[in-house]
Amino acid sequence: MNKDEVIIISSHDLQKKLSSLPKEARYSTGIKSIDILTEGFGPGELIIVTGYSGHGKTSFCQTLTVNIARNKMKSLWFSFEMTARQFLRKFNSPMPLFYIPEQGNNVGFDFVERATEEAIKKFGVRAIFIDHLHYIVEMIPKGNLSQSAVIGDVCRRLKQLAIKLNITVFLIAHTAQPKGEDNTNQQPSLSSIRDSSFIAQESDAVYAINRVKKKGYSSEIYENESWFLILKQRRTGTMGKKVKLSYVNNTFVEAISSEDENRIAV
């Protein structure tokens, strides 16, 4: 066959071919209500975790790390904002099993790709966590490229990496801080994500963590409860739903409420 020849297959033949393959894998987040709304997560997906500064994006991803480790699923972490000591301190004892490169000052997409391929080969890693997006994009774009275009290119490459390596990529992305007189009550949206609309466009799902402000306070004083917001979910089409979570002992768990409808809301 000529290397440049494109193979075309009928929908019937493709369906027959796919039916002979193992059932598509889906993995649990370890939080029941989130799994009900999202059907968990699977290989080939790029999942964005966003939210305002200090609202628990990294802590939520660390909770996922703990939960999937309990199910014998191995993950790889790229934590660019904290020292190894600071990062590990946020996990409870016993320490969950996951992997992290002894990266030194290595940053950028190429480093993430090489380290992920190595972790898959050596340890069978099935998911990676990147904290955060702006550590793997060039802050000063070359040529005439805009920052938005550079970010879009990296997000597309991450999506392609997820497909090529058959893994799930969890990517933390910052939002712009809310503006206005009542800025402490504003929930993040897709348009809140900083610097590029391509981040949401290239992803399979976008989830936001939004802490609950204490009632009666106009300043930024928060409870230990947060909303998990579904801003986009390509697989199920779910949008606008949210699940109430409590942050207990360095871990997000489903909030306990006497009124069940308060856990999952529109």
For each of the domains in the chain, give its residue range(s) and CATH number, in order of start. 25-265 (3.40.50.300)
- Tokens at residue 61, please? 């991803």
The predicted model scores a pTM of 0.88
Per-residue pLDDT of the chain (266 residues; tens, 9 = 90+): 567 788 898 989 988 888 887 788 899 999 999 999 999 999 999 999 999 988 999 999 999 999 999 999 999 999 988 888 899 998 999 999 999 998 666 778 999 999 999 999 999 999 999 998 988 987 767 777 788 888 999 999 999 999 999 999 999 999 987 765 455 567 899 999 988 889 999 999 999 999 887 765 555 666 778 999 999 999 899 999 999 999 988 899 999 754 444 556 65
**Do residues 244 and 230 touch, judged by C-beta distance below 8 A?**
no
**Do residues 101 and 80 touch, judged by C-beta distance below 8 A?**
no
Q: Which helix (H) or strand (E) holds 159?
A: helix 147-165
